[in-house]
A and B are shown apart, each in its own frame.
Chain A
């Protein structure tokens, strides 16, 4: 009798330019990216918003979470333009990593390459948008509000 192959939900390996994680309890994050949505989780009991999304609440130790969409605009907290990159990212250089503050939570990511250096200002309003990458990969970037 043929052995039944164990199904592994490894959707998360599609996240980012290079993914270092294949399995997580918040794999739905990737399915939401497919729908063009960047989502965090909110603990229904404690009303804490988490980004990046978490499956477990450290406060109540429960896991009764609901998804919320990262929407509207956040303020650019800080950023840096890289001239060197780790393995797997060399072709992308140069690129900017950055942090947006949405008030209740912050989002770490990249600034859209379409935005010129002289247009990037700390404190500016930006949006978080999903981008499709080659080979069925998904990422999000920060764009002008």
Chain B
């Protein structure tokens, strides 16, 4: 069986309060990907729409998008795994193409988080966990990652300053990513300056600066079988490895609080399928929804031993010039995190890096790239390995 290639990638700018409807938002990422692939909508045999439905007013957006993007009468369907929806979409596209059902499939991720009011959003936040057994205590997403941060600090001596360094790096690259929602510089001093919004407590030990922002955005990744990819594209990027796992929603059902088991498992699967190890990765995008998440990702992906993730950021090894550049597009912390669009945006960044088209963000001559995309607080984990 042949390889499966990515022939087109696109994303909208990630913004606060997108001034258009969801179909128009989806069109932005789709248009960029179709132009990138130098094809037309007619060349796409099926589409997978990825998002977290609690932000949608439109019931079943797939049909609306197929109509607006010119993808009728090809099959389309909706796929959800929270924040990792579009990486899971890529996995599904891979299997559809690999099975020979379709030759070319578009994975369309989107989220218009501003579609609902702030009050509605607050209400949904309370249901972001196990609603039967956890939500009655008043839980929120940052509090769960904060519990991981606390456990990591206790066991390994990771400090709030180590966490802040992750945000400082993210801001370094967010400033040069024109698609990012947060493009201002961030310094370490801001985290200890009571006047700075970055220092504001959210859920101990996490501060405002440790958290990514909501945003509206869309992304699109177009995949094709080997024959079509070679015929349609002079620069296909190949899917070398895919890994995916799930874990207990309720923390009571887990056994590790200093890392995410789903990331470990997905990474092991993806490395095995690609026939490579962590040292072979030249550039990576990891799911830094919170600063602690990036440090845990270093460890769960094998870039650092458990507990030593902080050393990678302190030594700047994950900067552009370092041994393993991570999130050289600013990550979720700078780009913003439009849930369903995030995975596709991460994949886009790595594809551009592998093609040598990342502009000011370009890492030196990468051959293998990795995407780590997590749904919920380690409920779902996807790791994708791409190569030239």
Chain A residues with CB under 8 Å of chain B are: 12, 15-21, 24, 51-52, 77-89, 92, 95, 97-99, 105-110, 122-123, 139
Contacts of A17 in B (CB 8 A): 136-138
Answer whether residue B127 sits at the interface, using C-beta atoms and an 8 A cutoff: yes
In the complex, the answer to whether A52 meets B137 with C-beta atoms within 8 Å is no
Contacts of B252 in A (CB 8 A): 51-52, 99, 105-108
Residues from 122 to 164 in B contacting A, C-beta threshold 8 Å: 122-123, 125-127, 131-140, 142-144, 146-151, 154
Decide yes or no: A80 and B143 within 8 Å by CB, A87-B119, A106-B251 being known contacts. yes
Counting chain B CB atoms within 10 Å of each CB, which of A17, A77, A80, A98 scores highest? A80
Decide yes or no: A86 and B126 within 8 Å by CB, A78-B257, A97-B147, A99-B251 being known contacts. yes
In the complex, the answer to whether A78 meets B131 with C-beta atoms within 8 Å is no
Chain B interfacial residues counted at CB < 8 A: 39
- In the assembled complex, the Cα of A139 lies from the Cα of B136 at a distance in Å of 8
Q: Select B135's contact among A16, A77, A105, beta carbons within 8 Å.
A: A16
Contacts of B139 in A (CB 8 A): 86, 97
Decide yes or no: A16 and B137 within 8 Å by CB, A24-B132, A51-B252, A87-B126 being known contacts. yes
Residues from 92 to 144 in B contacting A, C-beta threshold 8 Å: 119, 122-123, 125-127, 131-140, 142-144
Contacts of A87 in B (CB 8 A): 119, 122-123, 125-126
Contacts of A123 in B (CB 8 A): 154
Contacts of B257 in A (CB 8 A): 77-78, 99
In the complex, the answer to whether B122 meets A86 with C-beta atoms within 8 Å is yes
Binary interface profile of B, 237-279, with partner A (CB < 8 Å = 1, else 0)? 0000000000000111110010000000000000000000000
Decide yes or no: A16 and B136 within 8 Å by CB, A99-B251, A107-B252 being known contacts. yes
Question: A122 — nearest CB in chain B belongs to which residue?
Answer: B154
**What are 21 contact pairs spanning A and B, CB under 8 A?**
A17-B136, A51-B252, A52-B250, A77-B151, A78-B257, A79-B150, A80-B149, A83-B202, A83-B203, A83-B204, A84-B142, A85-B138, A86-B138, A87-B119, A88-B126, A88-B138, A89-B138, A98-B147, A99-B147, A108-B252, A139-B137
